[in-house]
Amino acid sequence: MTNALTFNIKGGEEEKTTLPKEVFEVKANPTLLAQTVRIILGNQRKGGAKTKTRSEVAKTTAKMYKQKGTGRARHGSYSAPIFVGGGVSLGPTGGQNFRRRQSADMSRKAMLEALSIRAQEKKIVVVTEGGKATGMTKEARKLRDKMGELAGNPLVVVTTQQKELAREWRNLRGVKVVERDRLNVYEVLARKNIIITREVIDELKNYANN
């Protein structure tokens, strides 16, 4: 059984929340987690690198020396890849595609494993009454002070409907706010502390059982 510290939106400490085992007690597979992170980062990568081919470089088409009688190899263009300033053969074209796909089952399992790691490290804090948030930054700052070290550079996970809660936390320095639907393994592993609302836990339970 895994428990997490729990606070209401006003900063009052409540009884610890028992985290559902199907979400927060999943055995981690380091290979799957590493693969998932590579896929996420690769899908965010833009293939902007580009080199010019010999047809694109601005070089004279005149021969650099006469074709016969020198004992040297015949060359007809300074734009050849073997010359300094010539075109590059087999270089990046600017249209590289680094995107990779992962099955839904593997993505789901990796997400549950990442959350389980943070739960085992006691780095998850639960917030109740998220729907009562006013959107005032001072409210989030007060709650963060109550949490102490567990709120250091946290990842705050909210539901799509909790706009006011997201707004007040987003204004704090060092805080990353993400909606549950956009949560990914990389975000979970990149942040040591995670703050989630009780409604998010319910959504995660449905996510784990689908």
Domains of the chain: 2-45+100-209 (3.40.1370.10), 47-97 (no CATH)
Cβ neighbourhood burial of 93 (10 Å; 0-12, 13-18, 19+) = exposed
What pTM was computed for the model? 0.82
Do 75 and 63 meet the contact criterion of CB atoms below 8 Å apart?
yes
Residue 37 confidence (pLDDT): 96
Q: What is the mean pLDDT of the chain?
A: 91
d(CA 37, CA 132): 34
79 bridge partner residues: none
Q: Are strands 13-19 and 155-158 parallel, antiparallel or unpaired?
A: unpaired
Q: How confident is the model at residue 164 (pLDDT cuts 50, 70, 90)?
A: very high
Residue 98 confidence (pLDDT): 87
Residue 73 confidence (pLDDT): 86
Residue 161 confidence (pLDDT): 93
Alpha helices in the chain (DSSP H): 21-24, 30-43, 104-120, 137-147, 163-170, 185-190, 198-209
Work out the average pLDDT over 10-15: 89
Report the candidate in 65, 89, 91, 84 with the shortest Cα–Cα distance to residue 76: 65
Residue 67 confidence (pLDDT): 85
What is the number of helices (H) and of strands (E) in the chain? 7, 6
Least confident range of 2-6, 49-53, 63-67, 70-74: 63-67
d(CA 183, CA 111): 9
Q: What percent of the chain has pLDDT over 70?
A: 100
Residue 125 confidence (pLDDT): 95
Do 156 and 169 meet the contact criterion of CB atoms below 8 Å apart?
yes
